[in-house]
Amino acid sequence: MPSQKPSSPTRTGAALVGFLAGILLVLSGFVLGIVADRQMGGTAPLITQAVVLPTFPAVATDTVPAGRPTSTPRPAATPVPTVTPRPSDPPISLTDAKNTTPKELKDQFDIFWQAFQILENNFYYRPLDEQKLIYGALKGMYNSAGDDYTVFLEPKTAQDRKDAENGQFVGIGVYIEQKDGELRITSVIPNGPAAAAGLQSGDVVLSIDGKSLAGLSLEDQRTPIRGPENSIVTLTVRRAGEANPLDIPITRKRIVIPAVTLDVRPDGIGVLKITGFNDHYKQELDDALKQAQDKKVKGLVLDLRDNGGGYVDGARQLLGRFLPKDSLAMLEDRRPTGGNLSPITVIENGPVFDLPLVVLVNGGTASASEITAGALQDYNRATLIGTKTFGKGSEQSVTQFKDGSSSRVTIANWYTPKQRIIQKEGLVPDMVVEAPKDQRGTAPDPQLGAATDLLRTKIASSEISGNSSNVPQSRNNRAAIDTGARDPDDYRE
248 falls in which pLDDT band (50, 70, 90)? very high
Residue 219: its pLDDT value, please?
81
CA angle 71–74–76, rounded 5-degree value:
165
Residue of 201, 378, 406, 445 marked active site: 378
Average pLDDT of 258-262? 92
Q: What is the pTM of this model?
A: 0.67
pLDDT digit string, tens, across residues 28-73: 443 334 333 333 333 333 333 333 333 444 444 443 333 333 334 4
More confident residue, 68 or 104: 104
Residue 465 is which amino acid? Answer: S
On whether the CB atoms of residues 397 and 428 are closer than 8 A, the answer is no
**Model confidence band, residue 438 (pLDDT cutoffs 50, 70, 90):** low
* Cβ atoms within 10 Å of 308's Cβ, excluding its own: 21
Q: How far apart are the C-alpha atoms of 378 and 391, rounded to whole Å?
A: 16
CA distance 173 to 275: 13
Within 198-311, residue ranges assigned H as helices are 218-222, 281-294
Catalytic hit among 273, 392, 406, 458: 392
Is residue 179 among the annotated active site residues? Answer: no
pLDDT, tens digit, 9 for 90 and up, residues 315-370: 999 999 999 989 999 999 987 666 789 999 999 988 889 999 999 999 989 999 99
The one catalytic residue in 187, 201, 327, 367 is: 367
Nearest CA among 293, 244, 246 for reference residue 272: 293
- What is the reported pLDDT for 465? 65
Q: What percent of the chain clears pLDDT 90, i.e. is strictly above it? A: 49
pLDDT value of position 264: 95
pLDDT in tens, 363-376: 989 999 999 999 99
Q: Tell me, what's the pLDDT at 66?
A: 39
Instruction: Express each pLDDT in 118-144 by its tens digit.
Output: 988 888 887 888 899 999 999 999 999
pLDDT in tens, 173-201: 998 888 888 999 987 887 889 999 999 98
Q: What are the tens digits of pLDDT across the range 407-432? A: 999 999 999 999 999 999 999 999 99
Active site residue 392: yes
DSSP, residue by residue, 55-99: TS------PPPTTS-TTPPPPPPPPPPP----TTSSPPP-HHHHH
What's the confidence (pLDDT) of residue 105? Answer: 85
- For the cut 60, the answer to whether the pLDDT of residue 79 exceeds it is no
Torsion, Cα of 403, 408, 409, 413 (10° steps) = 160
What percentage of the chain exceeds 70 in pLDDT?
73
